[in-house]
Amino acid sequence: MVTATTKGLSRAHEIYANRGRRMRELRKSGKKIIGYICLYPPVEIITAMGMVPFRIFGDMSEPITAADRVSTTVVCPFLRSIIDLGIKGKFDFLDGAVGAHTCDIGMTTIIAWRDYIKDAPFTHLIDVPHTDHAPAVDYFEGQINFFKKHIEELAGEKLDQDKLKQACQLHNKQRKLVRELYDLRKSDPPKLTSMENLEVMVSLFSLPVEEGNELLEEVIKDVKERSIKSSQKKARLMVWGPVFDNTSLYELIESSGADVVVDDTCVGTRAFWADVKAPYDLHALAQRYLVDIKCPRTYRDTQHQETERDYDKDLDSRFSYIKKAVTDWHVNGVILQSVKYCDTHGYEVPNLRHYLDTLGIPSIYIEHDYSERSLAPIKTRVEAFVETLG
Amino acid sequence: MENATPALFFAGIDIGSTMSKAVVVDAQGTMRGYVVGPTGAEHRRRANKVMEDVLRTAGITLDQVAYIISTGYGRVNVPFADKQVTELTCHAKGVASLFPEVRTAIDIGGQDAKVLKIKNGRLTDFLTNDKCAAGTGRFLEVAAETLGLGLNEMGRISLQSDTPVKINSLCTIFAQQEIISRLSEGQPLTDILAGVYIAVTTRVVKLARQIKVEPPVVFTGGVAKNSGMVKAMEVVLGIPVLIPQEPLITGALGAAILARDEAFKLVQDGHYKSEKKQLSEAYIEFTEKNERKM
């Protein structure tokens, strides 16, 4: 078990609990704050323009009451929560909101924002193709260029190539530090709980990149010095799936007698595993976001030039990064979680479970509706899953 | 090992959404007594009552019970239990103790249905429906209420039908309306009832097929006591199913057997005595508190 809470971690805890506070301060000092939805708007451009990127999340503890007026109820409740919070004025510190066609509802969310949310008068939609084919990368580069021009208008100045390079390097540094932090969970027991880790991740999405990097350095230093006692937990789990920005699921799993040691979600590894490569131009950004981020919203069709399809080879090319994580973090079970109505992740589940079966790694699939109350019925299944591993 | 054990009984308590069950086993894992009663609103009092009843049935005192495992929906409300284990693990254990060869267990309770895959006596995979009452005992209760019949009576009558009416709605409430419209169309009651069982079963088998039904299949839960339901299950699955003599208590039985395993492990590790003392004290304290309240 992990021992005392450290200074860096308690700061992360505060930021997690009040994500908008630092943004409001920065805005008062004249900074422009640009909110973005999902992982696909290139934050490097926002940072390079002297603005602050802020990842827009929902709120699992806030019932969706205002969004029904502008969206149907049978779509992603995470994105519905964002619209709901927006209508309720919870993002009044934003100067702009950027969305991307990560999925259909991801796109309509930014359109709903433009039409119904008064805060953040600057809105922009980035179209994102759904394969990693070379022409798709070129197309995406063009879309990033549109975004660049639009944000230049907002800033009243041009994007400086050197500043973009610096921003890429700052964000790459953050990614490297996050990977270093994740390494501290390879031990048994991990030096950091999944709840603590998530609070740090959410903090990084709520701070300017330089401040996030300082926080990470502080956290890593403190956590490295922690002494760890032997683990009472029965299992080392990986959590896979779409956005999970709330510690509640991790608390539920960890209270069921398992450690969550690594994840494949966009509030964790997915967001920080890939770097932008030199020469740090728009093409490098397109490559990083469309090809190197491993989210099921992009079909990684590496064999598209072959006429014969080999199912096992196909699975391996899509999921071998998961195999690597399972090995490196000594994972003995995977919890596949998804928010209800997520086609993107839902269609991936049978293939991924089959792949995990072939690796001999037990898995379980759970679905929730992005509210704290929807987690309670999941508890028994998670506990039973952990019991089967014990 | 047994010489080191002064008390030789172990108990499992299964507080389900509708019924509470308790089982006592001896050191050999043989069942020495069981009780079944409605859960009601007060889980804690119920747990206490069911424990007292099962001790009486088995003819033993609490002192003789070395270890207690609680399971089921209300497992957290058994303050004198030494450990809580999910009903999925307990059912698998209980079913495998009765049918060692079992590969698939289908359990339909008052408010949920679960499908367990078991291999060599161990739970390997499972699915549960926890979204709504379709495909659970509640569905049958609603149908019985609508038709003014008792549950057993409903099962018996349905057996006379060879041409079940099709009930299409998966939602319990819509299905109730469908039953009423079939009645008003003048369809025979026997066929409607047979249709009700087929509808519930289809729902659960659909769930089971997600993780593949492999024989032998054991059918448990309160609903497995209903003759109409058993027939429907065999028709829809296309294979015979095995039913325990008392299909309600497999969860509690599994919990009791796990309690025995756990206690033996504690004896081996040398922790047995302190555990036992804590258990008795907790139980006495709880009983006194409850009496004052009443």
pLDDT in tens, B51-75: 999 999 999 988 889 899 999 988 9
A386: its two tokens: 């952990």
In a domain? residue B96? no
- Whether residue B261 sits in one domain with residue B217: no
- Whether residue B159 sits in one domain with residue B214: yes
- Tracing tokens 């860096």 back to the chain, one arrives at A8
A350 lies within 8 A of chain B by CB: no
Last residue of a domain, one of B212, B237, B262: B237
B126 lies within 8 A of chain A by CB: yes
pLDDT in the model for residue B7: 54
Query: Backbone phi, then psi, for B150, in 5-degree steps?
Result: -80, 160
- Whether residue B108 sits in one domain with residue B233: yes
Model's pTM, two decimal places?
Answer: 0.87
Q: What is the mean pLDDT of chain B?
A: 85
B70 lies within 8 A of chain A by CB: no
- Selected residue of B70, B89, B116, B136 to mutate for chain A interface (largest A Cβ count, 10 A): B89
- Closest partner residue to A387 (CB to CB) among B86, B128, B130 is B86
Q: Do A380 and B124 touch (CB under 8 A)?
A: no
B107 lies within 8 A of chain A by CB: no
Q: How far apart are CA A63 and CA A371, in angstroms?
A: 8
Output the domain CATH number for residue B69: 3.30.420.40
pLDDT in tens, A23-44: 999 999 999 999 999 999 999 9
Residue A193 near residue A301 (C-beta atoms within 8 A): no
In a domain? residue B244? no
- Whether residue B210 sits in one domain with residue B259: no
Last residue of a domain, one of B194, B215, B237: B237
Residue of B nearest to A375 (CA): B130
In a domain? residue B245? no
Q: How far apart are CA A143 and CA A136, in angstroms?
A: 11
- pLDDT over 80 (residue B5): no
- Whether residue B127 sits in one domain with residue B62: no
- pLDDT over 60 (residue B291): no
Q: Mind telling me how many Å the CA of A364 is from chain B's nearest CA?
A: 8
- B205 to A169, A209, B113, B208, B212: CA distances (angstroms): 55, 52, 10, 5, 10
- Whether residue B146 sits in one domain with residue B81: no
- Closest partner residue to A388 (CB to CB) among B87, B124, B128 is B124
Domain that holds residue B228: 101-237
B86 lies within 8 A of chain A by CB: yes
User: B71 - beta bridge partners?
Assistant: B14
pLDDT in tens, A187-212: 999 999 999 999 999 999 999 999 99
**Based on the structure, what is the number of domains in chain B?**
2
pLDDT in tens, B82-119: 999 999 999 999 999 999 999 999 999 877 889 999 99
pLDDT in tens, A216-275: 999 999 999 998 777 778 899 999 999 999 999 999 999 999 999 999 999 999 999 999
In a domain? residue B243? no
User: B21 - beta bridge partners?
Assistant: B14, B36
pLDDT in the model for residue B153: 86
- Whether residue B275 sits in one domain with residue B224: no
In a domain? residue B113? yes
- Whether residue B198 sits in one domain with residue B280: no
- Whether residue B108 sits in one domain with residue B159: yes
Instruction: Give me the torsion for CA of A297, A302, A305, A308, rounded to 10°.
Output: -100
- pLDDT over 60 (residue B293): no
At position B195, the amino acid (one-letter code) is G
Q: Mind telling me how many Å the CA of B288 is from chain A's nearest CA?
A: 30
Average pLDDT of span A127-153: 96
Give every CB contact of residue A137 below 8 A, 6+ residues apart in sequence: A283, A286, A287, A290, A291
Residue A220 near residue A181 (C-beta atoms within 8 A): yes
Write the DSSP assignment of A266-325 as a string of letters: TTTHHHHSPPPPTT-SHHHHHIIIIIIS--TTSB--TTTT-SS--HHHHHHHHHHHHHHH
In a domain? residue B35? yes
In a domain? residue B242? no
Query: Residue B93 CB: number of other CB atoms within 10 A?
Result: 26
- Whether residue B219 sits in one domain with residue B127: yes
- Whether residue B223 sits in one domain with residue B111: yes
- Whether residue B76 sits in one domain with residue B199: no
